[in-house]
Structure formats: C-alpha cells, structure tokens
Structure 1
Amino acid sequence: MTTADDVVTDRAARRRFATLGRSVALFRAFLVEQTDPDRFYGLLAADSVRQVSGYTALTGRTLLDVGGGPGYFAAAFRAAGARYVGLDPDVGDFSAVGESVAGMLRGSGTALPVRSASVDIAFSSNVLEHVSEPQRMLDEMVRVTRPGGVLFVSFTPWLSPWGGHETAPWHYLGGDRARRRYQRRMGRPPKNRYRETLFPVSISDALRWARGNGEVEVLDALPRYHPWWGRWVVQVPGVREVVAWNFVLVLRRTGHEPGSLAGKTQLTGGRVAM
C-alpha cells in the first residue's frame, strides 16, 4: 500500500527531476528534431523513462506503448527493465533505429489488439493529436490496463505554439489555411495534414474525459517539458492551451486486483480546473 510519506517522497523526486536545465536541454534538442532525430528522440525517450518511473516501478512491468514509432522508446524502457510492447499502424517504423519487430504489434490505437486488463502501464507519447477519435483511444488504453496500473498520455494541444506541427504558427489562422500555405512554400503537402493526420485536441477536453471516466483517477496533470515551478499553467483554463506547449495526463486504473486492499491514493494534480 502506498502511504502518505511515499506520496510526498515521490513528489519531491519528480520536482528534483523537472529542472530548468532539463527543460532547456529538451528545447534545444527539439530544434534539431528534423535534422538530428536521434538526438531529440533519444533524449525524449530517456526523459520519458524518468517521468514514468516517478509514478510507478518499471522493472518487470508490462508496458504497452501506443504509437511506438521507430523504436527509441523500446530501447529506453527495456533498458529500464520493463517488458515493452510497442503498437503502431506500421510495424516497419520500429526498424528505424535497429529495433527488432519481435514483441511489436501492428494495429490501431482506437481498437487495440490487446486483452482487457493485461498491461501494467499504458503509455503514449505525442500520438493523441494524430487520432481522429482521441477519446476512443483513451478508452481503449483504460480497457487494457489492469486495476492499479498506470496510464501516461502526452499530446500537443492544438493551440500550443507547435499545435500545427510543421505548419505552425500559421495554424492559428486555421488548419486548412496553414496546410495550403505550407504546400505553396514547400511544393509538397505537410506530413501532418489537418483533419487527416493531425486533429485539434485540447487539454480541457482531456481533463473533462478523465473526470467523467469512473474507471480512472487522475494522479497528475502537467506541462510535459516545463520545470516543476511552471506546473501552475495547467490550472488556468484557456492559458494552459497555449502556454503548456505539451500536456501530460497521468492516471491510475481504479478497482482492486484479487487479494488487494489498497485504496485510492491522493497525488498531486488531483484537482485541476476544467
């Protein structure tokens, strides 16, 4: 059973991790995402391992990565001791960094080919904004997570400075307009095409879904790349959609495993304005 002292200790550890130096390093790596993806995604994967391990142990736990991509996260989570299973519409992407496709699944995030209550951790990094039915994907992640397990979901809100991805910041004038402008300037359509492979999602919608889902409790809600003292932005409706840049929702699947008497634990982020 998690005690109040454990909660305070975990919160302090997460604050020590979420420093300004970390934020600066991630931002600098993000600037070369297109030209040096190994640098950015390697750093992001290692950072994600540290973030997730602030909420749950990884060693020996089964982790499902919805939208696993080219394999950076696979290497990082396996090195941390997790039993990693990646899922992606195109399993060929996993070979991009030399990862074997063994243990990888091909499938849709909105119809996971995974048994209910079969994974300890359901993880997704920057995928939700690329799904036409984001709440359905969230529901599926809840379904496959065992009672007591953790869900870690991050996404880029549409009103974030990077909400339009490579068409940003012109997405503020409309996604279709930003898409046409990109095609005129670059001579090709963007990879992230508005309402085809990129969809407007908001922090408020994600929080509203979480509050209305009786099968999960909110452990945390925070701007993913900010230092710990910048967490306050998530408390302010409207402002958070722009300032958070990237949002993380950490949930625990409710219910008890057989023989378990553990109840809910109150962690930070439990009360966030809609």
Structure 2
Amino acid sequence: MRRPKDPSLRRSLLLFRAFLREQQDPGHCYSLLARDAADQVEAYDGPVRGRTVVDVGGGGGWFTEEFRRRGAHAYLFEPDVRELGPEPAEGTVVADGYLLPLADGAADVCFSSNVLEHVADPRTFLSELVRVTRPGGLIYVSFTNWLSPWGGHEWAPWHYLGAERARARYRRRTGHPAKHTLGENLFAVHIGPTLRLVRARDDVRVVAARSRYWPFLAGAVVKVPVLREFATWNLLLILRRCPA
C-alpha cells in the first residue's frame, strides 16, 4: 500500500486552530481530530468498513463514532467514567488499558490517541494493545511527548520551567487547579525510549514513526535525536502485528 504523503500545511493549521479552541468548542475540535485520525488509519490499512476497531482510552467517544460512521464495528474502552460525558457511545466498556476484557487477536485495528502520556507503565499498556490485535492487524498509537511545546498539556509551555511551577502559574491565572498532575495522570514520555521499546519487540513491526501534525518532513524529524523530542509535538506510531 502506498505510504501517505506528509500532511498539508492547511490541514495542520485547521487542526491547530481547532485545538486552540478545545475548551470553548470541544465538539468541533474532537470531531475534526477524529476524522483526521480515521483518515490516517485508512491511509495505512485501507477502509475500516466491516472491520473490528478497538478504541482504547477514547474518552468521549469521538473516534469510536467516526469509525462507526465509516462502517467499522468500533468499541470504546475507557477507564475514567468522568471522561465519557453525558451520553457515552453505545456499547462503551469501562476498562483499564492495562487489562482489556478482550480475547487475544480480537481487533483488526487497535487505536489509541493521546493516551500513552497518561499511563504510568507504557510497556504494559503497549503490550496489551499488541495482545488484542490479530496477526497482521494494525496498531495506531499517538502521544504528546513531554518535551514537546504541548507536553505539559493545559499548563504548557511553562512545563519547561518545572511541573510544579507551571501548575502554580495555571492556578493563579485561571483560579482553579489544573486537570493534570505530573506523576499522577500525566507522565514524561519521551520519543527515543518509546521507539527503542517498540523496535525491540519481536511481535510488531514499525510501519511508520512520524509527527502526527507536522506539515513537512514528518518522518525525517523523528529520526534526529534531541531535536525530535522538541520538534515532533506529537508522535504517531503505526505498528503491524507480526504473524503468529
């Protein structure tokens, strides 16, 4: 299958503008992001229609609903009921990504968007994504790396000056505590160690490692140590489960 081209500058700008208004208009932000992510999955693995897609940590179900609109049998597994919203996607299962209630090889596509930086044990989390994916199936993982300008999430880019200082500034500015606390529900995940972790496995093949949003040289920037930790912004890993 032909590899996707680098995303266009227009597409990157649209996503960035939507992200800046995430708090004011989450519906627009996440529906746009879901369409874009589903496009990426299909670019690497063909149409999802008729296939089983497992969305791990998908929160409000935007990605699950988009895959369903494209004809997939999509299921949401989310550990935090507070993230589900008032109307969770039909069939949503409250479950931990470390121990999914699924048989081995149940999914054609295992999808995880911006979750890895919120788990304390990335190795176990990734192993579980691999386990539930059938041989030959696709694993989509993206995450915001800690040294990215957005690594501190709502208190970025002040995380460069230290997490506690950034959180204190956020509270002074907004009048309420930040949602994320480093070491509790946000973790400093880096690109280099993550790439070494997946490349050391013998049960997956790395199809692509690239910036999810960067409009040019999306794969090249990930190959440069140190630079990639700052310039990638969000790493997209496309993995293929090896035949049994």
Q: Does 1:41 align with 2:30?
A: yes
User: Pairwise mapping of residues 134-153 of structure 1 onto structure 2 (< 5 A)?
Assistant: 134-153=122-141
Counterpart residue identity of residue 141, structure 1: L
Look up the equivalent residue of 1:137 and give its one-letter code: F
SS of aligned partner of 2:101 = coil
Residues 1:32 and 2:21 aligned together: yes
Establish whether residue 115 from structure 1 lines up as the match of residue 100 from structure 2: no
The answer to whether 1:218 aligns with 2:203 is: no
CA change 1:228–1:52 in 2 (3 A) is farther
Q: Distance in 2 between matches of 1:190 and 1:93?
A: 15
Matched, 1:67 2:94: no
Match of 2:66 among 67, 76, 92: 76
Query: Do structure 1's residue 85 and structure 2's residue 75 form an aligned pair?
Result: yes
CA distance in 1, matches of 2:121, 2:102: 18
Deviation at 1:167, TM superposition (A): 0.9
Question: Bigger radius of gyration, 1 or 2?
Answer: 1
CA–CA distance in 1 between the matches of 2:74 and 2:201? Answer: 26
Distance change (3 Å), C-alpha of 1:76 and 1:170 = same
More divergent stretch after superposition (113-122 vs 216-225): 113-122
Any idea what SS the aligned residue of 1:231 has? Answer: coil
Structure 2: tracts of 5 or more residues without a match? none
Q: Is the 8 A contact 1:91 1:104 kept in 2?
A: no
CA distance in 1 between partners of 2:171 and 2:69 (Å):
41
Contact preservation (8 Å) 1:71, 1:93: no
Aligned identity (percent) is: 49
Is 1:51 the counterpart of 2:40? The answer is: yes
Could you list the runs of 5+ residues in structure 1 that have no partner in the other structure? 1-6, 257-274
For the structure 1 residues 196 and 92, does the alpha-carbon distance in structure 2 shift closer, same or farther, using more than 3 Å as the test?
closer
Q: Corresponding residue for 1:245?
A: 233
| Structure 1 counterpart SS, 2:14 | helix
Determine whether 1:18 maps to 2:7.
yes
Give distance in 1, aligned partners of 2:208 and 2:15.
Answer: 21
Q: CA RMSD in A?
A: 1.6
Aligned to 1:264: none
Instruction: State the distance in 2 between where 1:92 and 1:194 align.
Output: 19
Which letter maps to 2:113? S
Name the CA distance, whole Å, in 1 between partners of 2:33 and 2:138: 19
TM-score for the superposition, normalised by structure 1? 0.84
1:33-59 CA-to-partner distances (Å, cap 9, x unmatched) read 111111110100000110000111311
Measured after TM superposition, the shift of residue 228 of structure 1 is 4.4
Which runs of structure 1 show a deviation greater than 6 angstroms over 4 or more consecutive aligned residues?
Answer: none
Q: Which letter does structure 1 place at the counterpart of 2:102?
A: V
Using the TM superposition, name which of 46-55 and 173-182 deviates more: 173-182
Question: For the residues of structure 1 that align with 2:194 and 2:128, how far apart are their CA atoms?
Answer: 14
Tell me by how many angstroms 1:20 deviates.
1.2
Alignment match, 2:192: 204
Question: Structure 2 CA distance, aligned partners of 1:228 and 1:83?
Answer: 33
Paired residues in the alignment total 243
Which amino acid is the alignment partner of residue 27 of structure 1?
A: F
SS of 1:229's equivalent?
A: coil
CA distance in 2: counterparts of 1:128 and 1:121, whole angstroms: 17
Q: Shift of residue 22 of structure 1?
A: 0.7
Query: 1:203–1:241: 8 Å Cα contact kept in structure 2?
Result: yes
**Structure 2 contact 212–218 (Cα < 8 Å) conserved:** no
CA contact (8 A) 1:110 1:136 kept: yes
Deviations 1:87-132 (A, max 9, x none): 1013464454x454x3211111112221111111110000111111
Comparing 78-87 with 187-196, greater Cα deviation is found at 187-196
One-letter amino acid of the counterpart of residue 163, structure 1? G
